Chain A
C-alpha cells in the first residue's frame, strides 16, 4: 500500500462489516454463514410481545395500564385515571403513596436519561384529584348466587377477593383479629406515609360493597372455620410474625421491641413514646418505618444498624433517602453481638464491626463496638405463622412449614382453601397481594361454578392505529427532555409536630404537567407491515435512537451484533419482520430505547410503519378478558 488512492479502489469481500469505534476502524467478520438459523418473523399477535414493550405494565404484578392512565392525567381526566388504576390495582390512593413500584426500575425512560417516570407519584395525583366514583363501581346484585366465601384477615389480598367476588353475587365473610380493617396497610405503614383517611376511604369502598366483616374475630381454628361450610376459604393473614434476635440479654429488659408489633402498637395508640437513643436492627423498609416513627415519638439519636454495606440493603432507595433526610444515621457493617442490660435497664448493644470482601460474601470481625441505647427495635424480617391451621385437615405444609400453594391458582391441597398475599409465599408487598387476590378470586369463582381452577382465560390484546392525518397522531408524540420532578416534602419542623403529618405533599399542577410529558407512551407501538416496505431507509435515517436496521437475517446473537446501534440490553426484545419484498432482507428493531416518537411512521412513504395503540385485556373473576377495559372507555 502506498497511495491512498490505491486503497480506495481495492475491493473487499462482502461479508465483513466496517464499524467505527470512536476513531478506530474495526473490521468485523462475523464468521457466521449467511443462512445460519435465520430468525422467524416476530409474532406481534402474541399479547406478550407488545406487553413486554410496555415495560411498566409488564413489570407491575397487577399489569396496571400505566401509559393510558398517565395520558388521562395529562388530559385532566383524574377520575378516569383513578378508575383505570382501580381495575387492576384496587387501591390507587394507597399504592400511590406506598407501592414498592416495580414499574419504575422497569421504565424505559430510566434507560434514556437515568430517571424513570414518577409513575407512583402520578398515580397519587389521580387519586388526590378524582371526583365521585360511586356511580362507576360495579353494581352489587341484590339476589345473591348462594355461594359463601370466608376471608381470613382484612388486608389487601382479602379485600381484593371481596372486590372481585361481591359484584358476582357472592357473600363474603371477613374475619379480622383487630378492630379495624386494612391489615398491614394499617398496622405497619405509619400514618405520616399513609394518612388514615386515605386508607379508610379505599378500604371503605370495598367494605361498603357488602362485606360481612367481623372485627375482633381472630380465627383460632381452621377446623372450626371449615365446619361452617363455606364454599371457599381464602387465607390472607399476611406474614404476621417479626423475626426475633435471640442473643444475650434479649429477655432481660422490656425495651427491646419487634418492629412490626411495635409499629402496630403505635398505629393503635398503645405506644406514644420512645427513648432518645434508639437502635434499629435491620435495614429493610420496615426498619425505615421504625426509625422514622421513632423520630416522631421522642427519638433524637436514631441509628439504623446494617450488617452489610450499602447496595445490599433491602430498603427501597427512596425510603432510605427519606429517612436520612430526617437525620437518621445508617451505620454499615455492624453485626449485633449482645444486648447490654444492667440491673434490668437496657444500656445499649455490642456489635462486631465487620470488614467484607468484594461482593460482601465473606466478612471478618475488625473490632467490638458498644453503642448506647434506650430502646432497640428489631426489624430483621417477617415470617408466616399458621398455628391455627390443624395439620390433619388435608392442607399440606411443605418447606419452611409453609402451606403448599399453587403459584398459578393459589389453591392449597384442600381444594376449597386458597391462600394469597404474604400468607401464600412469604413477605412481598401490597401490589403483589392485590394480584394474588385477583388470581385467587378467579380460582374461587371457577371452583364455585364447577370449572377447573386451572382453566384460566389468557390475556388478549388489540391494536388501534393512532393516525389522524399526515404527521398527525392521537397521542402526544414529542419527546420532552424534562427532568424527573422532585416530590416536595413537609418541612422538617412541621412534620415532627404530630405523628400523622403526611410528609409527601404530592405533585403540584406544574410538576404533574411536566412529569406526564416524560412518559414515552410505550403502549403506542411501531407496527410494521413488511410487504409495503420499499427499503428507502427513511425510518432508519430519522430514528433518533438508532433502533432500526435493515439487514440480512441471521440468528439472534449474530443479528444483534449487526444492528445500527449495538443491542446492549439483552433483556429487551428484538423485533424481526418477514422478508422485505425487494432484497429479501429483514427489518429489525431493537425495542430497548425506542422513544415511540412515531417519526419512522411519519417518514415512511408507504405506511409500512404505523403507530398503533396496544391494549391488553386482562381477565378477572367472572369477566371475559375483552370486557375489562370497556368500563373505562
Chain B
C-alpha cells in the first residue's frame, strides 16, 4: 500500500485565498511585445529608418517618425535607481508587498522600469529578461549580470512556475515522452508526481519503474472519458499545482476510427482535462497547465493530415484556455515539437527529438514561465517559417 508523501499541513478552516493578477490593460504595441516575450525573446522596437531603439512601445519613431520593427536586443543594463513599493491600490501587488522595482539604462539605448532581483542595487550591471507576468503580459525583469535565474527570489517566482515541492499531474505517463517527463520533474524536485496510466491497465502497472521512485505515484487516468478524468483527479485528494498533458495518439493515414481516437484524445481529451483541472489550478499560487502539441498543428501535413488536424484543433483550444485562465493567474504553456524519437514516429527520418530532451524543455519552460517553446530543429524551423510567411509555409508543407 503506497502512501502519499507528506504535504504541507494547512489550517483546515482557512478561507480559500483569492488569487489576483497584475493590471492587464495594454496597448496593441505592448501586446506585440508580449507575443514575442511569450517565446522567450528579448526584443525592443528599432526604427527601420534611423535605427533608434525605443521603449515603451510606440507606433512611430520618436526621432524621425519612421516605422518601428521588433528586434532582438542586447540584454545588458545598468541600474540607475530603485524603490521598494510598500503601498498600492492594486489587489495583486498588495498580496506581494513589499515590491522592488527600479529604473535601468539599457545597453540597447532606452531606459526602462523593471522588476528588480533582490540582489540588485543602483550602479550594478544587470541582465534583462522579458518575462510574462501573472496576467500573461510582458514585463522586464532585471537579474544580476551573468547570474542564473534564481528560483528563490520571491519576485522572480511570480514570473515563473517553480517545480520544486509542487504537486504535478502527468496525464499520460505510459508513453516514452510521458515517462521522460515524470523523470525530469522528479529530478527537478517536484514534491509529488501523479503519473497517469491510460487503459488498458496491465498487471505490470503495479510494479512499474515509475512507482518505484519516491514522490511518484501511478494513477489510472483516461482523458477519453469525463467521469474517468474526474475519478482520476479525485484520487489526487489535495492541491494540484501543475498539469502536464502528455496524452496524444499519433497515426498517419485516413482511417476514420484512428481519426476519431486522435480527436478524442487531442481535442475532446484536452477539453475534459482542462475543464476538470482549471478550478484546482486556479486556487494555487503558481498554477500551470502545460500542453505538448505537435508543430504540425501550424500548417497541417499531408501524410499526417488527420493527426495534424487534431493537433491544430488542440492548439486552438489551448489558445482559448490560456485566455480563460489568464484572469486566474494560471499559466498555460505550449511545448511544440516535431517528430519525437519514439514508436509514434518510427517511419520519420531524423532529426527527431529525444523524449528526455522534450522533458527537460518542459521543466525549463516552467522555470522560465515561457508560454511558447519549440523543442528541436524541426519545430523551431517550422515556427520560424510560419511566423515569416504563413501562406508560403502552408503551401510548402503540403506540396
Instruction: Answer whether A and B are interacting partners.
Output: no
Chain A residues with CB under 8 Å of chain B are none
Chain B residues with CB under 8 Å of chain A are none
